[in-house]
């Protein structure tokens, strides 16, 4: 009964081009942004579509592509306009000159998820090409990467976010370069992650005296059939380290021990003791969750598909609370066996150092302020890990 052919405005006369190479696009604007960024080409002065945000209005229309040249917005040529003015105008009809006549559809799509190791707020980032197009996130957020076409600015969505439009985030390479320049230690993103629901193994590193033994003991008592611990042993000859006259420095000892696949080691009354990977395997073959506390540098050795560790960092509360809660505690090195001010300070410094260097490897951080609260937090974290789904490095899913 009615013709629905598009009623498009005639091509402007000033456009000295062939009609077939021009697209006239009419987008009815609602509250949603267009989902594209534009830039002025330094050489030609033309306004070019810099990128299309995945899942945004422009992307869903399928009509606009990066590299397209914008000629006119709402019937007004864009030649004298700044990119900011154009993008903010309440545009309804845009005229585009396509960069190519045959735009290849994006037909393959690999799902990539990353865990952020830093907070990011595009409003405070002077490097981002368009702040409005940026995606803010917090350390620990899981990001679904929608596009890595641009080496500097990736497009991502927060996992579980209902908004289909992707936002700009700094790429891994770009962020790591910034971190290097600003001397921030931790890297940008954790490796790719997938949702997998298996976990066997569990351990908690933390500064000495923070309360790991106490928490481990409570867990063991709570369910001895379910949890297990390793018993350190001294390496037997010919690897008896006490017979090595030159093994005086822990460093040399570390190198030899790591060759022997020892997770941790220490010296007691002139003998070296350690926990080997085989001891851990022994606990795991009994189908128990192995509780182990190690120094953070050993996490890398254990962070494999075989062990699938869930790493909990137990950290001390603030100094005042340490003083209050540890009044009767036997803490490490002080002469009267009670926690001294230096012990507390050392514990806090060590915890801070560990967190800044290894924080990206911790799945959970528990502040051991009140022991009962810390313990129930640990118990419920464990329960969630064993019964729910969880993000793990993609390499764990290949085994
Ligand atoms: N939340 C807490 N409140 C009060 N006292 C605590 C708390 N947590 C631990 N303690 C006490 O602090 C002391 C040290 O705890 P624990 O031996 O568990 O530390 P640790 O981290 O295992 O130390 P290390 O690694 O040196 O063996 C113990 O006397 C313990 O009872």
User: 230-287: what fold?
Assistant: Guanylate Kinase phosphate binding domain (3.30.63)
Interior/surface letters 196-210, b for 16+ CB within 10 angstroms, e for the rest: eeebbbbbbbbbebb
3 state DSSP class of 318:
coil
Q: Which two tokens stand for residue 222?
A: 């709570």
Q: Residue 209 C-alpha to ligand 1 middle, in angstroms? A: 5
Say how far apart CA 390 and CA 311 lie, in whole Å.
Answer: 13
Count of other CB atoms within 10 angstroms of residue 80: 8
Structural domain spans, the chain? 19-97, 112-190, 194-226+288-394, 230-287
Pocket-testing residue among 204, 209, 351, ligand 1, by greatest number of atoms within 8 A of Cβ: 209
> Of ligand 1's atoms, which has the minimum distance to the CA of residue 206?
21
Output the DSSP codes for 192-240.
-EEEE----EEE----TTSSHHHHHHHHHHH-TTTEEE---BPPPTTS-
Has residue 318 got a pLDDT over 60?
Answer: yes
Between 16 and 49, where is the model more confident? 49
In terms of DSSP bridges, do strands 193-196 and 167-170 run parallel, antiparallel, or are they unpaired? Answer: unpaired
> In Å, what is the CA distance from 102 to each residue of 13, 60, 99?
25, 18, 9
Q: Measuring from atom 23 of ligand 1, which residue has the nearest CA?
A: 209
> What band does 109 get if pLDDT is binned at 50, 70 and 90?
very low
Which CATH architecture does the domain made up of 112-190 adopt? Answer: Roll (2.30)
| CA separation for the pair 210, 206 (Å, rounded) | 7
First-to-last CA distance in the chain? 62
Global pTM reads 0.66
The stretch 180-193 carries a mean pLDDT of 52
Q: Is the pLDDT of residue 320 over 70?
A: yes
Phi, psi dihedrals of residue 223, rounded to the nearest 5°:
-160, 80
Q: What pLDDT is recorded for position 249?
A: 32
Tokens of 132: 């409005």
**What DSSP string runs through 331-352?**
-TT-TTSBPPHHHHHHHHHHHH
* Ligand 1 mean position, distance from CA 337 (Å): 12
The pLDDT assigned to 191 comes to 53
Q: Pick from 52-66, 266-280, 298-312, 363-377 the range whose average pLDDT is largest.
A: 363-377
Q: What ipTM describes this predicted complex? A: 0.95
- Tokens 């062990």 belong to residue: 307
Q: Indicate which residue's Cα is closest to atom 12 of ligand 1.
A: 329
Written as six digits, the tokens of 40 are 């002025």
Ligand 1 nearest atom to the CA of residue 217, by list position:
18
Q: How far is the CA of 140 from the centre of ligand 1 (A)?
A: 28
Which residues, judged by CB distance below 6 Å to any ligand atom, belong to the binding site of ligand 1? Answer: 208-214, 325-326, 329-332, 368, 371, 374
Task: Please say whether the beta carbons of 71 and 95 come within 8 A.
Answer: yes
Residue 93 pLDDT > 80, yes or no?
A: no
- Residue whose Cα lies nearest atom 16 of ligand 1: it is 211
d(CA 274, CA 77): 75
Same fold, 19-97 and 194-226+288-394: no
Question: Ligand 1, closest atom to CA 317?
Answer: 1
How far is 314 from 369, CA to CA, in rounded Å? Answer: 10
pLDDT at residue 380, rounded to an integer:
92
Fold of 194-226+288-394: Rossmann fold (3.40.50)
pLDDT of residue 149: 84
The closest residue, in CA terms, to atom 31 on ligand 1 is 329
Residue with the smallest CA separation from ligand 1 atom 2 is: 371
19-97, which class in CATH?
mainly beta
Which residues 6+ apart lie within 8 Å of 369 measured at CB? 317, 321, 325
Using alpha carbons only, how large is the chain's radius of gyration in Å?
A: 29
């Amino acid at each position: 009964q009615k013709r629905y052919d598009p009623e498009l405005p005639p091509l402007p006369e000033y456009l000295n081009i062939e009609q077939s190479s021009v697209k006239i696009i009419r987008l009815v604007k609602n509250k949603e942004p267009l989902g594209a960024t534009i830039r002025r080409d330094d050489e030609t002065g033309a306004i070019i579509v810099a990128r299309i945000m995945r899942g945004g209005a422009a992307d869903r229309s399928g009509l606009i592509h990066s590299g397209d040249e914008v000629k006119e917005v709402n019937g007004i040529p864009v030649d004298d306009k700044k990119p900011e003015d154009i993008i903010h105008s309440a545009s309804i009809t845009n005229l585009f000159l396509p960069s190519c006549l045959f735009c290849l559809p994006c037909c393959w799509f690999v799902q990539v998820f990353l865990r952020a190791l830093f907070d990011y707020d595009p409003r405070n980032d002077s490097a981002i090409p368009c702040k409005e197009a940026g995606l803010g996130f917090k350390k620990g957020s899981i990001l679904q990467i929608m596009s890595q076409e641009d080496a500097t600015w990736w497009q991502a969505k927060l996992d579980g976010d209902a908004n289909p439009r992707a936002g700009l985030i700094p790429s891994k390479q770009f962020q790591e370069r910034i971190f290097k320049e600003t001397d921030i230690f931790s890297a940008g993103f954790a490796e790719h992650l997938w949702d997998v629901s298996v976990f066997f193994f569990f351990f908690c590193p933390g500064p000495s005296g923070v309360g790991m033994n106490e928490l481990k003991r409570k867990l063991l008592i709570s369910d001895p059939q379910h949890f297990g611990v390793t018993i350190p042993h001294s390496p037997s000859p010919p690897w008896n380290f006490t017979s090595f006259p030159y093994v005086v420095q822990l460093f040399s000892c570390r190198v030899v021990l790591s060759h022997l696949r020892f997770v941790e080691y220490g010296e007691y009354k002139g003998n070296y003791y350690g926990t080997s990977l085989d001891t851990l395997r022994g606990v795991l073959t009994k189908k128990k969750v192995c509780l182990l506390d190690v120094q953070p540098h050993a996490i890398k050795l254990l962070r494999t598909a075989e062990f699938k560790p869930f790493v909990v960092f137990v950290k001390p509360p603030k100094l005042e609370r340490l003083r209050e809660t540890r009044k009767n505690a036997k803490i490490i090195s002080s002469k009267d066996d009670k926690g001294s001010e230096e012990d507390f300070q050392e514990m806090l410094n060590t915890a801070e150092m560990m967190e800044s260097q290894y924080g990206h490897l911790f799945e959970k951080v528990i502040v051991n302020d009140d022991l009962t609260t810390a313990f129930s937090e640990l118990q419920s974290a464990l329960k969630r890990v064993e019964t729910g789904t969880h993000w793990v490095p993609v390499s764990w899913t290949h085994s």
